[in-house]
Amino acid sequence: DAGVIQSPRHEVTEMGQEVTLRCKPISGHNSLFWYRQTMMRGLELLIYFNNNVPIDDSGMPEDRFSAKMPNASFSTLKIQPSEPRDSAVYFCASSFSGTGELFFGEGSRLTVL
């Protein structure tokens, strides 16, 4: 059974460019989380969805960040325009019911030059 699938695994881009990260949750899971991890700030919750509806986006750092979940099997996190301080590993995780075990994807390592 496939786990959470994220793409791309690595992204190197220049400041000002648009970045789109993608996530396919585990089939049957109804909650999806986007996290950002850096050495300085640890694992930060950016946004989470329950049944495809955004529930809490208070962790989204700025209007440059947006996330969508058009259906139960796909979500995107977009950064436009990107800045060097956005460099981090972005994790997507899914779960059933939202308060149970989170299953993480392998992460997308973003480097903004």
- Closest separation in Å from C-beta 11 to another protein: 16
Pairing of strands 74-79, 53-56: unpaired
In whole angstroms, how close is the CB of 80 to another protein at the nearest point? Answer: 25
- Residue 63: CB minimum distance to another protein, A: 21
Nearest 5°: phi and psi at 51?
Answer: 50, 45
How many residues sit in the footprint of another protein (CB under 8 A)? 23
- DSSP, collapsed to helix, strand or coil, labels residue 84 as helix
Report CA-CA distances (Å) from 10 to 7, 88, 101.
8, 10, 26
User: Applying CB under 8 A, which residues contact another protein?
Assistant: 31, 33, 35, 41-43, 45, 48, 50, 55-56, 91, 95, 97-102, 104-107
